[in-house]
Structure 1
Amino acid sequence: MRDKSEKAKFVLQVFESIAKDYDRMNTLLSFYQHKRWRKFAMKKMAVKPGDTAIDVCCGTGDWTISLANASQTGRVVGLDFSDNMLQVAERKLSEKGLRQQVELVRGDAMQLPFPDNSFDHATIGFALRNVPDVVQVLKEMKRVVKPGGQVVSLELSKPTWPPFRALYYFYFERILPWLGKLFANRYEQYRWLPESLIHFPDYEELARIMREEVGLDEVEVYPLTGGITALHVGRKPANER
């Protein structure tokens, strides 16, 4: 298991190297499910016109764009540490005419460069397992949302039904890296995906962390597709400043 600094450097290298293939591989490896999962997350979030949001570890910007479309006029920020991923996001935003509404920032999820109580929503999609410190990142997301604001994670998880879990891990550990090699010429980078999940908490433990260690209220958990993905939604206490 890598220490925090080694993990941060390695993860940056991974995402810098796979940026150009990231969207295509996401669609392939998730069997087209990632868009459905994000649509479900947006439904549960119920973003209102004019709401503000930060999409932490925004990658190529798909969730950032969904937030901007739902908000219509509110400020939306996409933050990531990978220049190559942000360049892909920049092209998408330009194509969709969203550059005036959305700001892209190269930054560290462990130290968000924004004041307290800045946003109505803070999201992180398929990236929480990659950060050096899960609790620190969630605390930062909580810090920058307004009292009563939402902190939302959409992330890979671990199936609970043993037969399905065995099949899932076989695919994830044995087949997925070779698909990365075949379709993106990246074996080691896609071997990282199953490694990143090994030490990541399951969805029940992550919910406990959000409640007890981060201090979020009204934490709701939605296991999706047999538990291979989970949506977590919590709120910053209304009386916290």
Structure 2
Amino acid sequence: MTLSPKNTDVKSLFNTIAPEYDKMNNIISLGSHKKWRQKVMDKMIFPEKAQIIDLATGTADWAIALAENSDSDSEIIGLDFSESMLAVGQTKVDISDYSEKITLEQGDVMDLEFPDNSFDIVTIGFGLRNLPDPKQGIKEMYRILKPGGQLVILETSQPDSPLVKPFWQLYFGHVMPLFGRVFAKGKYQEYKYLDETTEHFMDYMTLGRLLLKSGFKKVRISRFNLGAAAAHYATK
């Protein structure tokens, strides 16, 4: 059992919400998550024949987008601990144009079964906050990256503006869980948990400092939607 910082069995939670996950992502983010991801990839450098891994890949949206943006000889692994999320993702991969480039695997981000210096690019989107120990996860990301390789983290964040923050807290604290009840077959508690992980996760500057302390270089940060999400780019 993998417990979150809120002592929630997150694997079971994501297995439960997998059937509605893509629909709810679009509803909750008002479609913004796709735009954020594309903006992030526009700033990435894709070497030829890149070895890429998308951690906490969920239903494989980012894995498929990485395949679309990389050359035909690149290989993408999408890794997640939820078999139900991966099953949804595999269906999407199978009907995509990139099924030969993408492999989905079940695994633990905090204990990756890959040799040191294996990947040119490591990505994780909206998954770092769900790890029981984000520091250990980042340590593993550093280990599997090749020297000079890129780490890209896209994660929910908290706005700074005192004018914006109350509306942000209202939306994530009350509206988002209500959406879970209305649109996701009554899954209020599951989406309440996702709100809590967003609200209590480290802020974007703390995450940037953690990357530097973990050995990463050239850490850059981009923020979206008045701070509702942040992208961190770093090099090993």
Normalised by the length of structure 1, the TM-score is 0.93
2: CA distance between counterparts of 1:97 and 1:157? 32
1:16 matched residue in structure 2: 15
Tell me by how many angstroms 1:7 deviates.
5.2
Tell me by how many angstroms 1:145 deviates.
1.0
* Matched residue SS, 2:136: helix
Tell me by how many angstroms 1:5 deviates.
6.6
Q: For residues 175-203 of structure 1, what are the alpha-carbon distances to aligned partners after superposition, in whole Å with 9 as ceiling and x for unaligned? A: 11011100002101000112112331110
2:191 matched residue in structure 1: 190
| Pair 1:119 & 2:119 matched | yes
| Pair 1:202 & 2:203 matched | yes
Equivalent residues, number: 233
Contact 2:79 2:107 in 1 (8 A): yes
| Pair 1:134 & 2:157 matched | no
Contact 2:13 2:190 in 1 (8 A): yes
Alpha-carbon spacing, 1:155–1:6, altered in 2? closer, same or farther (3 Å):
closer
Identity over aligned residues, as a percent? 41
2: CA distance between counterparts of 1:33 and 1:178? 19
| Pair 1:59 & 2:31 matched | no
1: CA distance between counterparts of 2:235 and 2:205? 17
* Matched residue SS, 1:175: helix
Letter of the 1:202 counterpart: D
Higher helix share: 1
2: CA distance between counterparts of 1:74 and 1:56? 17
**Which consecutive residues of structure 2, in runs of 5 or more, have no partner in the other structure?**
none
Alpha-carbon spacing, 1:171–1:19, altered in 2? closer, same or farther (3 Å):
same
1: CA distance between counterparts of 2:99 and 2:158? 37
Letter of the 2:197 counterpart: S
Alpha-carbon spacing, 1:184–1:4, altered in 2? closer, same or farther (3 Å):
closer
Q: Report matched runs for 1:68-87 at 5 Å.
A: 68-71=67-70, 72-87=72-87
Give the root-mean-square deviation of aligned CA atoms: 1.5
2:25 matched residue in structure 1: 26
* Matched residue SS, 1:13: helix
Contact 2:3 2:9 in 1 (8 A): no
Contact 2:3 2:10 in 1 (8 A): no
2: CA distance between counterparts of 1:7 and 1:99? 36
Which stretch of the first structure deviates more once superposed, 95-104 or 32-41?
A: 95-104
Letter of the 2:211 counterpart: M
1:234 matched residue in structure 2: 234
1:239 matched residue in structure 2: none
Tell me by how many angstroms 1:99 deviates.
2.5
Contact 1:4 1:133 in 2 (8 A): no
Contact 1:47 1:67 in 2 (8 A): no
Q: For residues 94-138 of structure 1, what are the alpha-carbon distances to aligned partners after superposition, in whole Å with 9 as ceiling and x for unaligned? A: 101422211111000001111111110000000100001111111
Contact 1:55 1:64 in 2 (8 A): yes
Structure 1 runs (4+) deviating above 3 angstroms are: 3-9
Q: For residues 189-219 of structure 1, what are the alpha-carbon distances to aligned partners after superposition, in whole Å with 9 as ceiling and x for unaligned? A: 000112112331110111011112x110000
2: CA distance between counterparts of 1:5 and 1:201? 14
